[in-house]
């Protein structure tokens, strides 16, 4: 039987654009003033959490002790797509009822936690090895930030409460011919009456089979320079002409999908920001999670990830000796622990500087690059330590992070970090150009 790991998670966000164009000022779509509180989907009487970080930590710890499902990893190992989705939705609703699902959203939409509280929350969820919010990832981060930054009042009222109720989103950015060079995308959106007629093909849409809505980039002006003719849409995945086909990926799972768009009609009301300004909208909204998702992942790598690695090193092998008795193993483990400690501090620093408005133009790329490659090296070492026995682990639990103790699959899966969301090569270029001010590569356009 071929290994078939269940879906493990939403891929990191799409690239921060490879072009080192200085972030342009926001294109504020003058949104109608928000009502004080949305009606439907509002969190009903979520508990009041302590503001004080130490008290909050204790309270979250208590909550986790009572709510993190026991043995969820076992239950999620070998789970079907349906079991995975049901588990994810249930976990999301538990967090939502506790007021912990969208801490980064504005208070009037059900969030409103301080940065200090969010840091503590993700540290504690990681320390308790709680399931990750995989399925809701794009919805609560990218869709929400897009709506909050660039959406109309109507779009927000339509979708933010629905996301709390479980609406799932997918990102439709990449295409077969537009990966690292995202702005080369060719899906077209032609104005047609009161809407746009969309044709094209999207790729690497993680979790698209479960998605209700899609964040879509399509070209509205084929004659403009490539970044100037793109528009940003909200696409209802039930619209006629939308077809989703899973792609089997290197791990054997099929989390990524292709989306085929054949004469799909999108109402003009679902345009985000002005027509032809979609690239700018995407630029402004991609980084809007402000480092918090990276902090969560770094905390998970530092807790469960390193703990399993240390346990694997301490486990006696066939001859009764454990790998940790080897000085070289000790050295490499200490080296990884040091680097993971550095990563966690880097993430905390990034989040805090975001909050203080002191974030540098390449800081997100530094963290993404370092996490991706450190994850890969850590999992690689896990594979080495696990030895031939590690090769017999054919499934990893869904709903986990990128480290699950199924070392070989985790290692293979780590390319989900070094490739999407701007490859490591693209990140190095961004760091060199935006972070260090090195001259740009001569480009074709």
Q: What positions carry a catalytic annotation?
A: 289
Instruction: Check if the beta carbon of residue 361 is closer than 8 Å to that of residue 23.
Output: yes
Residues 6 or more apart whose CB falls under 8 angstroms from that of 44 comprise: none
Q: Which is nearer to other proteins, 45 or 327 (CB)?
A: 327
The reply on whether position 440 binds other proteins by CB under 8 A is yes
Q: Which is nearer to other proteins, 3 or 435 (CB)?
A: 435
- Spell out, one character per residue from 310 to 339, where the chain touches other proteins: x when CB under 8 A holds, - when not: x--xx---------xx-x--xx-xxx-xxx
- Kindly tell me the sign of the dihedral angle through the C-alpha atoms of 179, 182, 184, 190: positive
Instruction: Check if the beta carbon of residue 206 is closer than 8 Å to that of residue 255.
Output: yes
Q: State the nearest-atom distance from the C-beta of 425 to other proteins, in Å.
A: 7
- Chain centroid to CA 340: 20
Partners of 178 in the beta sheet? 175
Instruction: Check if the beta carbon of residue 366 is closer than 8 Å to that of residue 429.
Output: no
**Number of amino acids touching other proteins (CB under 8 A):** 39
Written as six digits, the tokens of 279 are: 């690239």
Of the candidates 76, 174, 400, 429, which one interacts with other proteins according to CB under 8 A?
429
The reply on whether position 21 binds other proteins by CB under 8 A is no
Written as six digits, the tokens of 315 are: 């486990």
Q: Using the structure block, give the residue that is written with the tokens 């990926």.
A: 249
Partners of 236 in the beta sheet? 213
Q: Which stretch binds other proteins (CB under 8 A): 107-115, 122-130, 269-277, 429-437?
A: 429-437
Instruction: Check if the beta carbon of residue 264 is closer than 8 Å to that of residue 199.
Output: yes
The upper half-sphere exposure of residue 442, i.e. CA atoms within 13 Å in the direction of its Cβ, equals: 0
Of the candidates 319, 320, 357, 439, which one interacts with other proteins according to CB under 8 A?
439
The reply on whether position 378 binds other proteins by CB under 8 A is no
Q: How far is residue 204's CA from residue 445's CA, in Å, rounded to a whole number?
A: 25
Q: Which is nearer to other proteins, 150 or 374 (CB)?
A: 374
Identify the three-state secondary structure at position 80: coil
Of the candidates 23, 267, 287, 432, which one interacts with other proteins according to CB under 8 A?
432
Q: Which is nearer to other proteins, 399 or 424 (CB)?
A: 424
Partners of 192 in the beta sheet? 195
Q: Which is nearer to other proteins, 106 or 316 (CB)?
A: 316
The reply on whether position 343 binds other proteins by CB under 8 A is yes
The reply on whether position 295 binds other proteins by CB under 8 A is no
The reply on whether position 369 binds other proteins by CB under 8 A is yes
The reply on whether position 356 binds other proteins by CB under 8 A is no
Q: In the complex, which residues of this chain contact other proteins (CB under 8 A)?
A: 310, 313-314, 324-325, 327, 330-331, 333-335, 337-339, 341-343, 345-346, 349, 362, 366, 369-370, 425, 427-429, 431-433, 435-442
């Amino acid at each position: 039987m071929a290994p078939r790991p269940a879906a493990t998670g939403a891929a990191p966000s799409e690239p921060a654009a490879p072009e080192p164009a200085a972030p342009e000022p926001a294109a504020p779509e003058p949104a109608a003033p928000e009502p004080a509180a949305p009606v439907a989907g509002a969190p009903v009487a979520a508990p009041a959490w302590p503001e004080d970080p130490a008290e909050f930590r204790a309270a979250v710890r208590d909550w986790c002790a009572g709510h993190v499902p026991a043995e969820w990893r076992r239950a999620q190992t070998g789970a079907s797509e349906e079991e995975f989705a049901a588990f994810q939705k249930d976990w999301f609703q538990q967090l939502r009822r506790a007021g912990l699902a969208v801490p980064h959203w504005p208070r009037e939409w059900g969030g409103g936690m301080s940065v200090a509280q969010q840091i503590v929350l993700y540290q504690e969820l990681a320390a308790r090895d709680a399931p990750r919010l995989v399925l809701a990832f794009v919805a609560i981060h990218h869709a929400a930030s897009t709506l909050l930054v660039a959406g109309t009042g109507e779009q927000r009222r339509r979708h933010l409460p629905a996301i709390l109720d479980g609406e799932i989103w997918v990102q439709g950015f990449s295409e077969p011919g537009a990966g690292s060079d995202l702005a080369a995308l060719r899906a077209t959106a032609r104005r047609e009456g009161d809407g746009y007629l969309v044709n094209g093909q999207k790729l690497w849409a993680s979790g698209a089979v479960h998605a209700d809505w899609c964040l879509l980039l399509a070209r509205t002006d084929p004659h403009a320079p490539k970044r100037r003719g793109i528009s940003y849409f909200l696409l209802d995945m039930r619209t006629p002409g939308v077809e989703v086909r899973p792609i089997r990926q290197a791990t054997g799972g099929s989390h990524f999908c292709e989306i085929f768009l054949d004469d799909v009609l999108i109402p003009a009301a679902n345009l985000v920001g002005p027509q032809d300004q979609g690239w700018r909208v995407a630029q402004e909204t991609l980084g809007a999670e402000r480092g918090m998702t990276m902090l969560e992942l770094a905390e998970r790598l530092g807790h469960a990830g390193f703990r399993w690695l240390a346990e694997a090193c301490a486990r006696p092998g066939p001859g009764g000796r454990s790998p940790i008795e080897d000085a070289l193993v000790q050295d490499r483990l200490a080296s990884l622990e040091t680097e993971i400690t550095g990563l966690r501090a880097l993430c905390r620093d990034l989040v805090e500087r975001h909050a203080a408005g002191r974030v540098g133009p390449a800081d997100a790329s530094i963290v993404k690059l370092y996490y991706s490659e450190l994850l890969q090296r850590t999992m690689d070492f896990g594979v080495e330590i696990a030895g031939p026995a590690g090769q017999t682990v054919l499934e990893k639990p869904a709903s986990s992070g990128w480290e699950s103790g199924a070392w070989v699959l985790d290692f293979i899966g780590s390319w989900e970090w070094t490739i999407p969301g701007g490859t490591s090569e693209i990140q190095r270029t961004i760091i060199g150009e935006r972070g260090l001010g090195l001259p740009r590569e001569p480009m074709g356009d």
